[in-house]
Amino acid sequence: MSAGWRTLLLRIGDRCPEYGGTADHKEHIEICYNVLSREYEHSKDDIFEFLLQCAEQLPHKIPFFGVLIGLINLENEDFAKGVVDATQANLQDALHTENRDRIRILLRFLCGLMCSKVISPNSIIETYETLLSSAATILDEDAGNASWQPRADFYVYCILASLPWGGSELFEQVPDELERVLVGIQSYISIRRHFDDIAFSVFETDEGNSPNKKDFMEDLWEHMQLLSRNGWKVKSVPKPYLSFEAQLVVGKSHRFHPVSCPPPTFTMSSSEILKGQEKHEANLKYPQRLRRLHIFPTNKAENMQPVDRFVVEEYILDVLLFFNGCRKECAFYLVSLPVSFRYEYLMAETIFSQLLLLPNPPFRPIYYTLVIIDLCKALPAAFPSVVVAAVHALFDRISNMDTECRTRLILWFSHHLSNFQFIWPWQEWANVKGLPKWAPQRVFVQEVLEREIRLSYFEKIKQSIEDAAELEGLLPPKAGPNFRYHTDESKESTEGHRLSKELVSMVRGRKTTRDIILWVEEQIVPANGAKFAVDVVSQTLLDIGSKSFTHLITVLERYGQIISKLCPDEEMQLLLMDEVSAYWKNSTQMTAIAIDRMMGYRLISNLAIVKWVFSPANVDQFHVSDRPWEILRNTVSKTYNRISDLRKEIQTLRKSIQVAKEASAKAIKELEEAKSILEIVEGQPVPSERPGRLRRLQGFADKAKEEEVTIEESLEAKQALLALGLEEGKELLRLLFKSFLDVLTERLPPVSADGDVPNLRAGDPNVTFPASDPEAATMEIDNENGADNNSQVNRENTEAGYTIGELEQWCLCTLGYLKSFSRQYATEIWSHIGMLDDEVFVGSIHPLIRKAAFSGLCRQMNQ
């Protein structure tokens, strides 16, 4: 970067930091224009790139940059024409590379240029009609492909999203042409398929099934119709160009050359599976940018027009997008948006909507956590109270919240509190201790406290809830190992104690792994059996590695072969996980870490972990603890991360092979050219090059060829690993869904004789659950949940003879996690949908299971 470029950035940054606040826009624009004018002769190219980058990366300031370019256009038309041409080229490139954010922002930038008289309104209309025509073609039965409706929706969304910035000028200058575009949009809205995203809703209620509920496109179109009727007046979009209208009006309007959209993608197959895969791919490439999360009641949130709400949401999402990784800058721009009204509640709703967006947030959850923290520090008098209100509102609706969102909220909230000394009015939630142990609010508080302890220590968190002493019963046991062979004078020494002590001596004596394996095979297995050997060895090695995470890793690296030798099959691996769980029964975190590390070192298979998670002891914990789900999430994620990493490595190797082949061909060509140059010596043709150079060239050629062969061998090895990984992933998916199917089928209430699907959320007294052994099936809650045994809740459960409410919650929770895995790994499910249909979901499957299992897919599964 040149010195002039750096100077320009500093001066612009110093002169115009308050744009968007209460400062005078005209004054700041004049200052910035003067700075640019002085630097123009020395930094013309830098200014050109600078303005284009600013327009794309600070889109909430587009009206400002549009005026700057308009003022420059008065003095230097070629410069402005260059900006217009560059914008056209960038938009054309973005359309063909499917860069959604760039397309959307460049259309807004075009509106900014039009308002400043840099381009003509007809150019905007022409661009709109190009996008609208492409959208209509995509939905055409003969010429298009309706599977790609998400792309068509996106094009129309871009048009509608840019109208708050340019609608008023278009209406004033080309009203008939604008009306033609709006009529075209109305026609498109009438033929598009309504999108029902109930499977991606944060709150699982029946409201999403309403046929009258508008989807995001229909809602936005309604807002723009209202804006049109109100004369295109938008409070949230500044109009700095009006202050310079007398100057800008004499500027030359440049032609914006037409752009073209990529043609629709056709599929020749009539297969429903292939069509479904295509719809899924389209949704991945063109996802819905925002799913509004209405947290606050209308009497609390800011009162603003729907279009203003949309514009401010766009501002917030743009800032989050372009300042990802720059948390402090992100917070700075979020609190200084170019609007004249308060928007803290809307900002909180928008950020939480992104944090809880399904199936995945646009960025890592930690980013939103840090932004919220910085916003609380930037607006100490306003934003913390908004966050508190948001948490209380979400807590009140936690029983209806999607399971995946509930987990994200727990992780965010515990991390947030760790940055504010764990201060929270816990006494307001003290009543949850009286709820059954499976009640969602109680589980939420319990899991937040457990996560807080991970981020701090037991005594600190216990002290933080001293104003709500009732909640101490929800704290997990104080973390620490539960070593079965701990030396204690009060306990009688057993054979296990003796063998464990001897193993510790061997480890401390630096005995080799081979020596220890021989000792186990000779001293433990013959006399006590393999299961006892797993018990003693695993408990002892875990105890040796219990001091820290590093100690655990060291033990597994050095002595993992011993465990591998003792646990060669799934039966023994299940026993090993039982031992890990027993040793770390007081630490959910260490249980998850130990099992995860053992899977990483291939001591435990992912299939064994799935079977262990779905064992009876863990199944009964599905609705009261995140412990089994955390382990299952880690297992599935690690499996598919391996596959993803291998694909990336293969892609890199393929590029490396191409480079190596080119290098090898070049080296061989140089060698052959050197050998082909001959001279006559004593009447005989001999190479004219010196022998030393020929040897060097030969060496280079041999080395290049060797490197090419090495990379090809690495590629073959990685491809073999990928094939193995894909097969492993397929088996994991089959077992995962089969396990969900088995446990849910066993406990879900059956469909009625009339075919009515049971409503687990309605508290329907007619819902009946499968008969089972009451002693085996009843989930004890009266003596363990901390509630008063004489409470009304427990009396009702006792009178019923079975905890119906608990079974309903277990079913809801398990179905929620099945739905979560379906959304998270929808691409993998599509890859193996035939296998799942043929091997897992065969016969009469409960409709609730089928709905949850395929909720992340873009097709309706046949019953």
Q: Is residue 538 part of a domain?
A: no
Which pLDDT value is given to residue 691?
76
Return the exposure string of 541-562: e unless at least 16 CB atoms fall within 10 Å of the residue's CB, then b. Answer: bbbbbbeeeeebeebbebbbeb
Q: What is the mean pLDDT of the chain?
A: 87
Mark whether 329 and 281 lie in a shared domain: no
Closest CA to 607 of 590, 626, 632, 629: 632
Q: What are the two backbone dihedrals, phi and then psi, of residue 687, each rounded to the nearest 5 degrees?
A: -60, 135
Q: Is the pLDDT reported for residue 390 higher than 70?
A: yes
How far apart, in whole angstroms, are the C-alpha atoms of residue 747 and residue 302?
45
Q: Is the pLDDT reported for residue 85 higher than 50?
A: yes
Q: Is residue 701 part of a domain?
A: yes
Least confident range from 349-353, 522-526, 784-788, 817-821: namely 784-788
Tokens describing residue 736: 């995962």
Q: Which helix (H) or strand (E) segment is 680 a member of?
A: strand 678-681
Mark whether 169 and 296 lie in a shared domain: no
Least confident range from 15-24, 284-293, 411-420: namely 15-24
Q: What are the two backbone dihedrals, phi and then psi, of residue 684, each rounded to the nearest 5 degrees?
A: -120, 135
C-alpha 240, offset from chain centre = 37
Which pLDDT value is given to residue 272?
76
Mean pLDDT of 191-207: 79
Mark whether 82 and 110 lie in a shared domain: yes
Is residue 664 classed as helix, strand or coil in its secondary structure? helix
What percent of the chain is predicted at pLDDT more than 90? 63
Mark whether 103 and 60 lie in a shared domain: yes
Mean pLDDT of 334-359: 94
Number of domains in the chain: 3
Q: Is the pLDDT reported for residue 302 higher than 90?
A: no
Determine how many CB atoms are found less than 10 A away from the CB of residue 518: 12
Determine how many CB atoms are found less than 10 A away from the CB of residue 683: 5
Mark whether 123 and 251 lie in a shared domain: yes
Q: Is the pLDDT reported for residue 828 higher than 50?
A: yes
Q: Is residue 812 part of a domain?
A: yes
Which pLDDT value is given to residue 862?
34
Mark whether 276 and 312 lie in a shared domain: no
How far apart, in whole angstroms, are the C-alpha atoms of residue 338 and residue 58?
12
Q: Is residue 815 part of a domain?
A: yes
| pLDDT tens-digit map of 237-268 | 999 999 999 999 998 999 999 999 998 777 66
How far apart, in whole angstroms, are the C-alpha atoms of residue 562 and residue 511?
12
Q: Is residue 510 part of a domain?
A: no
CATH of the domain at 276: 1.25.40.180
**What residues make up the domain containing 173?**
43-258+270-285
Length of the chain: 863
Burial class (CB in 10 A: 0-12, 13-18, 19+), 3: exposed
pTM of the predicted model, to two decimals?
A: 0.89
Tokens describing residue 32: 């910035």
Which pLDDT value is given to residue 205?
66
Q: Is the pLDDT reported for residue 523 higher than 80?
A: yes
Q: Is residue 209 part of a domain?
A: yes
Which pLDDT value is given to residue 621?
93
Q: What are the two backbone dihedrals, phi and then psi, of residue 254, each rounded to the nearest 5 degrees?
A: -90, 155
CB 699 within 8 A of CB 691: no
Last residue of a domain, one of 350, 368, 386: 368
Residue 298 confidence class, pLDDT cut points 50, 70, 90:
confident
Last residue of a domain, one of 368, 396, 419: 368
Which pLDDT value is given to residue 577?
97
Which pLDDT value is given to residue 763?
60
Last residue of a domain, one of 324, 349, 368: 368
Q: Is the pLDDT reported for residue 790 higher than 80?
A: no
Mark whether 304 and 281 lie in a shared domain: no
Tokens describing residue 761: 């959320």
How far apart, in whole angstroms, are the C-alpha atoms of residue 466 and residue 430?
11
Mark whether 75 and 218 lie in a shared domain: yes
- Phi-psi map region of 117: left, alpha, beta (phi>0 left; psi -120 to 50 alpha): left
Q: Is residue 476 part of a domain?
A: no
Q: Is residue 396 part of a domain?
A: no
Residue 679 confidence class, pLDDT cut points 50, 70, 90:
low
Mark whether 246 and 307 lie in a shared domain: no
Kindly calculate the radius of gyration of the chain based on its CA atoms and give it in whole angstroms.
33
Mark whether 193 and 331 lie in a shared domain: no
Mark whether 639 and 690 lie in a shared domain: yes
How far apart, in whole angstroms, are the C-alpha atoms of residue 281 and residue 98?
13
Mark whether 303 and 280 lie in a shared domain: no
Q: What are the two backbone dihedrals, phi and then psi, of residue 678, each rounded to the nearest 5 degrees?
A: -115, 160
Q: What's 236's DSSP letter?
A: T
Closest CA to 522 of 544, 502, 507, 542: 502
Determine how many CB atoms are found less than 10 A away from the CB of residue 442: 24
Closest CA to 450 of 691, 670, 629: 629
| pLDDT tens-digit map of 425-482 | 999 999 999 999 999 999 999 999 999 999 999 999 999 999 999 999 999 999 889 9
